[in-house]
Amino acid sequence: MRVILLGVLVWLGCGLDLTAAANVPLPRPRPLPEAPEPAAPSASAPAEPSGPPPPSQCFTALTSGLAEAEALPPIAAASGCGADDVVRLDAVILKDRRRAEFKPPPTLRCSMATEVANWLREDIATQVLPLGASLVGIDNYDSYECRPRNRVAGAEVSEHGRANAIDIRAFILTNGKRFGLTDPEAKKTVREAVKASACGRFMTVLGPGSDGYHEEHIHLDLAERSNGFKLCHWEVNLPVPLPRPRPPEASAHAAAE
C-alpha cells in the first residue's frame, strides 16, 4: 500500500513539473544591432567646390548692352599688386549698336572697365566724328601689369598693378585711319575734346609733357586719393614733342619693346 501511495505521489510530482515548465515564459529575442549613423562632417574638413562665384553686379551691368567682356578670376599677386572683380574688356557697344573693339583686349577691374566703356560710348564716339569717320577700334598699349610706377625700381606700385589703369595709343576709325592721341599732326581740336572728357571722368590723365614717360600714349586710371584729388597733365597743344630727353628707364623700356 505504501509503495502504491509513493508511486502516485511521484507521478503527481512529475506532472506538476511538466505543467510548470510549460508555463515558464521564453526569453525575448535580442534586437538586431542598428546601423551606425553617418558621422557629421568635421568643421575643419575642406568644403567641396561649389563652382565659380556668381557674376558681380558691376559685371552684369557692364555686359547688359554696354560692352562685351569676360569675367576673369581674381588676381592674386605679391608686392601690393592684385585685384578682385576682374574682366577682360573685348569691345564697347556704341549707341548705334556698332562695336568698338580693343586691340588687344585689356585686363581691368570691372569698375575701371565700366568707366572706360562709358567714356568711349558717351564721349569719344561723338568727339572723333570731325575726323570724317566713326570709331571702330582702340589701340590698347597696356593694362594690368604688376610693376612699380613707370617701371622705376623702388617706386610705388602702379595702378596698372591693381588692374586700375589703361594706356591708349590711338583710336581706329571706320575709314581705316588711326587717330594718334599724342600725334602732334593730329587734329588739335579733337585732342582737346578728348583730353577734356578724359580729365572729367578719370582720376589720373597723363600724356605728353607730364613726366617723360607718356610721350607716345595716354595713361588713364581711377587712383583713389584723399579729397578726391585729380591729376590731369597732357599738353595737347604742343606743336612738336617736348625736346626734353626721356628718362633712362623709359628709354630702356622703349628699346626692349
Find, among 81, 198, 194, 42, the residue nearest to 131 by Cα.
194
In-domain check, residue 11: no
Q: Is the pLDDT of residue 254 over 90?
A: no
Residue 21 maps to a domain: no
Q: What mean pLDDT, rounded, does the chain reach?
A: 83
Range of the domain at 104: 57-256
232, part of any domain: yes
- Tens of pLDDT, residue by residue over 158-182, are 999 999 999 999 999 999 999 999 9
Q: Is 34 within the bounds of a domain?
A: no
Is 178 part of any domain?
A: yes
Q: What is the largest CA-CA distance in the chain?
A: 156
20 pLDDT band, cuts 50/70/90, is very low
For the stretch 222-232, pLDDT in tens is: 999 888 899 99
Please say whether the beta carbons of 103 and 169 come within 8 A. no
Looking at residue 227, its pLDDT comes to: 85
Residues 212, 217, 220, 223: what is their CA dihedral angle, to the nearest 10 degrees? Answer: -30
42 falls within a domain: no
DSSP state, residue 248: H
pLDDT 10s digits, 117-151? 999 999 999 999 999 999 999 999 999 999 988 88
In a domain? residue 40: no
Cβ within 8 Å of residue 81, ≥6 positions away: 75, 146, 157, 161, 162
Decide if pLDDT at 3 tops 60.
no
Alpha carbons 60 and 67: distance in angstroms, whole number:
10
Q: What is the C-alpha separation between 96 and 77, in angstroms, rounded?
A: 39
**Phi, psi (degrees; rounded to nearest 5) at 238:** -65, 130
- Residue 20 maps to a domain: no
Number of domains in the chain: 1
